[in-house]
Amino acid sequence: MQIAILLFDQLTALDAVGPYETLSRIPGASVTFVAAERRAHRTDTGSLALLADATLDELAHPDIVVVPGGPGEAGARRDEATLDWVRAAHESSQWTTSVCTGSLVLAAAGLLDGRRATSHWSALGTLGAMGAEPVSERVVVDGRIMTAAGVSAGIDMGLTLAALLAGDEVAEAIQLGIEYDPQPPFDRGSLAKARPEVVEVLLSMSRFAPST
């Protein structure tokens, strides 16, 4: 099973690494980071880089497609070569997936027209304007497209996909193996739970400004 995780400059690291940590543990799975160029791609903080081991042309028809988000998705969804790859890969993929604002790349490729999909809460309006039916849920499945909400939801998506591909026991074993048992110190992980002043602080940080 070939799994391709798309890279581009200024992606959010966990959007790509969360699914990698879960999907790479499925028996028989082979995960490859792909991009327009074989090189290191710096994440949105600039302090971490992920290496693309294959070009888009070299892995044109993966079984699973994962598109992460982050500030760099704005460039990715305006790059015709990237969009052409997403469209072509989706034609033969078992699953086409996204994390966070990666769903905006899927929408730009025309894959989400009229489909239920999710994204980071700050991008749901943009997602709707691009033709999708935005849904404020952690993981959304519509046909063979699976979208995950913001950043950490990529782990949930990976486990959901692992269960569909390899069964619940394998997915549960992967969850246990990575000790994914969230117990956050604050109950502020969704817009519905956040205090207004916390939202204002977050929006003042450019990394989390709404995508347009």
Q: Do residues 147 and 118 make contact, with C-beta atoms less than 8 angstroms apart?
A: yes
- Strands 64-67, 30-35: parallel, antiparallel or unpaired by DSSP? unpaired
Q: Do residues 65 and 111 make contact, with C-beta atoms less than 8 angstroms apart?
A: no
- Strands 145-148, 139-142: parallel, antiparallel or unpaired by DSSP? antiparallel
> Which member of 6, 100, 104, 165 is catalytic?
100
Verify whether residue 138 is a known catalytic residue: no
The H-or-E segment that residue 34 falls in is: strand 30-35
Long-range pairs, 125-133, Cβ under 8 A, ≥24: 125/210, 126/210, 126/211, 126/212, 127/103, 130/104, 131/107, 132/103, 132/107
Active site residues: 100
